[in-house]
Amino acid sequence: MAGQILGDRYEVERQIGKQTGRWTLLARDTTTQERVVIKLLFLDEALEWDDLKLFEREVETLKSLSHPSIPRYLGFFEHQLPNDKALALIQTYVEGKSLEQCLQEQRLFTEAETKQLAKALLHILIYLHGQQPPIVHRDIKPSNILLANRQAYLVDFGSVKSLKNSGDTSAFTVVGTYGYMPPEQFSGRAIPASDLYSLGATLTTMLAGTHPSSLPHKGMKLDFEKIANLSPAYAEWLGWLTDPNLDYRVQSAQEALMALEQGTGKPSAIAPVAKPSDTKVFLTKASTSLEILMPSILGQAHLQIDQQHISLTSKRLGFQSGRSQTSLRTQISRLEYRKESEQGNAEPHLAVWAGTQKYELRSNPPLTIPELDWLAYELSTWLKLPIT
């Protein structure tokens, strides 16, 4: 196809990828003289409905995204073939080397190099998972990560899934790559934590120089003691990302990034704290929501966290007092608890941070230390955030 003009504008230079029913081409835009990537999906008798659905989803997803480390949507058109048609997606071209190419060249990455790579990719995932609704890539692996201009790029959104809400676990087409897919994805589920598993498997691959299926395991878990000479905290952090059990795996890219930057590995579990028998604070929780009602002399403060948002509202004599604080649930990044200042004369406080917003749990009279210990424990275990 070299030299062929597609869409009356794009001159094909060469083929850079080929799968059943789809081609990926490198072309030159004859209008701007810039290189672009063209993804073609052939509308022939062999076309599967799921392939068309995924292709259309990739188009719509790229249209909605704007991030310097993600290919940019440039256009879409139908291309007439002699007997059939093909759909064409145009996106920006990143001239770089994939991690898969680095593997083939037998290049091993150091712990420091994979940490820098992890931070760059976690920032991309924070952006994707923070969309409304959240976007899960579902196919993070070495061939879909490019290194160019001292920057990491996440490419190929052909397996992307947009969740209806943060708790969406509905069944859908099973996609992904063996070795990089977490167990839940084999059964047709994917959530933001699924991308984190794939990221952990990718980083481990770059450290060991071989794909996960060839790496040593302990049961279903990767055996990091036999993979590379890693620091204990980093090995623990990678094990946290690649835990096959969703209940024990890191739940958000923000949480993973914070732990990596602090060098703490996986946050240690905290001892259970019982509810004080004399408290007037009411706490109700379910798998998708948590509410805390804190009494005051003339009213109450109400903290609520659900699948979409975190909000804090104050009421006096049954009426709302002032404006409610509201942020996206995906912005929650830190749980802060201080029993006293360094001088020992400050009022204890407990707060949830969402972006730059601080949601402080206050009441009048002030909450007691046993009440704050209990609430800190409940929030930490429910949000899966360490207490800082």
pLDDT in tens, 65-123: 999 999 999 999 998 877 778 999 999 999 999 999 999 999 999 999 999 999 999 99
More confident residue, 125 or 341: 125
Residue (of 71, 76, 215) closest to 151 by Cα position: 71
At 233, the amino acid letter reads A
**Helix and strand numbers, DSSP H then E, in the chain:** 8, 22
Mean pLDDT in the chain?
88
Residue (of 130, 134, 162) closest to 58 by Cα position: 162
Q: What class is the 97-262 domain?
A: mainly alpha
Highest mean pLDDT range out of 105-119, 269-283, 367-381? 105-119
More confident residue, 268 or 331: 331
* Residue 138 region by backbone torsions, left for phi larger than 0, else alpha for psi between -120 and 50, else beta: left
| The predicted structure's pLDDT at residue 188 | 82
| The predicted structure's pLDDT at residue 139 | 94
Overall average pLDDT of the 168-182 stretch: 69
Reported confidence tier of residue 340, pLDDT bands at 50, 70, 90: low
How far apart are alpha carbons 6 and 312 in whole angstroms?
A: 54
How far apart are alpha carbons 318 and 134 in whole angstroms?
A: 35
Are 103 and 179 a contacting pair, CB within 8 Å? Answer: no
More confident residue, 155 or 363: 155
How far apart are alpha carbons 227 and 235 in whole angstroms?
A: 10
What are the phi and psi torsion angles at 351 (to 5°)? -145, 145
Residue carrying structure tokens 């649930």: 329
Q: Where in the chain is the domain with CATH 1.10.510.10?
A: 97-262
| The predicted structure's pLDDT at residue 319 | 73
Highest mean pLDDT range out of 29-38, 42-51, 261-270, 315-324? 29-38
β-pair type (151-154, 135-136): unpaired
Query: Alpha carbon of 372 to those of 271, 292, 360, 365, 367: distances in Å?
Result: 14, 12, 11, 13, 6
| The predicted structure's pLDDT at residue 248 | 85
| The predicted structure's pLDDT at residue 342 | 41
How far apart are alpha carbons 56 and 128 in whole angstroms?
A: 18
Reported confidence tier of residue 171, pLDDT bands at 50, 70, 90: very low
| The predicted structure's pLDDT at residue 317 | 66
3-state secondary structure of 230: coil
User: Which residues on neighbouring strands pair with residue 350, listed in sequence order?
Assistant: 337
β-pair type (319-320, 309-316): antiparallel
pLDDT value at 228 more than 80: no
Residue (of 173, 171, 172, 193) closest to 182 by Cα position: 193
Overall average pLDDT of the 264-268 stretch: 74
User: Which residues on neighbouring strands pair with residue 27, listed in sequence order?
Assistant: 12, 36
How far apart are alpha carbons 128 and 226 in whole angstroms?
A: 33
More confident residue, 84 or 16: 16
β-pair type (309-316, 299-305): antiparallel
Are 136 and 191 a contacting pair, CB within 8 Å? Answer: yes
pLDDT value at 209 more than 90: yes
Overall average pLDDT of the 274-300 stretch: 90
How far apart are alpha carbons 151 and 161 in whole angstroms?
A: 25
Which range among 203-212, 276-285, 293-302, 363-372 shows the weakest confidence by mean pLDDT? 293-302
pLDDT value at 343 more than 50: no
Q: Where in the chain is the domain with CATH 3.30.200.20?
A: 5-92
Fold of 5-92: Phosphorylase Kinase; domain 1 (3.30.200)
More confident residue, 16 or 339: 16
| The predicted structure's pLDDT at residue 71 | 95
Reported confidence tier of residue 167, pLDDT bands at 50, 70, 90: very low
pTM: 0.70
